[in-house]
Amino acid sequence: MVYRFSCQPEKKLNNQLRNTFATKPFPFPDQPMGGNLRQPTAPVRHPVSMLALTRASSRPDLGEPRPVKWWWVGLGVALGLLGLFLGFAVTSIGARRTGEYALDMDISQHRDAVLITIAKVFNVVGGPTFAPFLLLVLAGLIWWRWDRASAIWFYGLAAIGWVSVTFAKVLVHRDRPPTSAIHALVIEKAADSFPSGHTALAVGVVFGAAMALRHYRGTARWALILGLPFLALAAASRMVLGAHYLADVTAAPIIAGGAILAFSGLVLPVEGRIRDRITAFKRPARARG
């Protein structure tokens, strides 16, 4: 094929030819007339290959060794200490002097039937009996929608956030709101009000999902956008039932979120290898006969 060149400047004409044959492995002049011809530098565009490239680029290679993110660890530890300080402070001052008792009294006088129903459902589902099964169901959904390694990683992070508040409960040892005075809808007698375990479970679900799925482009952001309202509702439900004070549900995200962040920063160097082994694991075949 012979090209007929007009009187346009050579540089402008070469750009036109490059745009014309960018999708074909066809030579075009890349230099002034008389120069060497070479293959176009633009890649061949194909819708399927570009889609695969986009998905691959959204998940970096987790097998590459990465150093510990010490600022994650430091921030997580700082959040945990801040939560403990808050617990010791409100316990020593007293709920009446902090205004938490009056707030619970006011909430008990303005309860809504819908909120009461939601709070009672979450009280059962988020309790120590059913919470492990709830995490299993959510992990199964992540396995079905994304991958097995992210599902198992989510379950571990959510469990860490949930269990982390147990140590704070033992250390702070704060009494529950008085059942008869605020007309509590659940009976809680143990001195383990601070922090809220149900709220910590919600934190584990939201932050665990965001951290486990952070390698998928945009997924962690949507997990936080959709999860934070759920977290606020879970915290409010504990006060609607009269089971916790305001500081109890406020400190739970601080302590549980700090635990998840610190753990994620520590295991970052081996996270890729663990995920790869989980992905490559296959059940051994049963022997016949």
Model pLDDT for residues 131-147, shown as the tens digit of each residue: 999 999 999 999 999 98
A 10 A CB-CB count for 279 gives 13
Give the Cα separation of 177 and 191 in Å (integer): 10
DSSP string across 222-279: HHHHHHHHHHHHHHHHHHHTT---HHHHHHHHHHHHHHHHHHHHHSHHHHHHHHHHHH
Model pLDDT for residues 85-117, shown as the tens digit of each residue: 999 999 999 999 999 999 999 998 888 888 899
Mean pLDDT in residue range 154-175? 94
Tell me the residue type at 5. Answer: F
pLDDT number for residue 72:
93
Statement: residue 272 has pLDDT above 50: yes
pLDDT number for residue 62:
53
Q: Which two tokens stand for residue 229?
A: 């309202």
**How far apart, in Å, are the Cα atoms of 264 and each of 42, 138, 157, 268?**
40, 20, 8, 6
Model pLDDT for residues 180-220, shown as the tens digit of each residue: 888 899 888 888 999 999 999 999 999 999 999 988 888 88
Q: Which two tokens stand for residue 155?
A: 């379950």
pLDDT number for residue 34:
47
Mean pLDDT in residue range 41-53? 43
Of 82-86, 140-144, 150-154, 271-275, the one with minimum mean pLDDT is: 271-275
Q: What's the predicted TM-score (pTM) here?
A: 0.75
pLDDT number for residue 213:
92
Three-class SS of residue 152? helix
Three-class SS of residue 37? strand
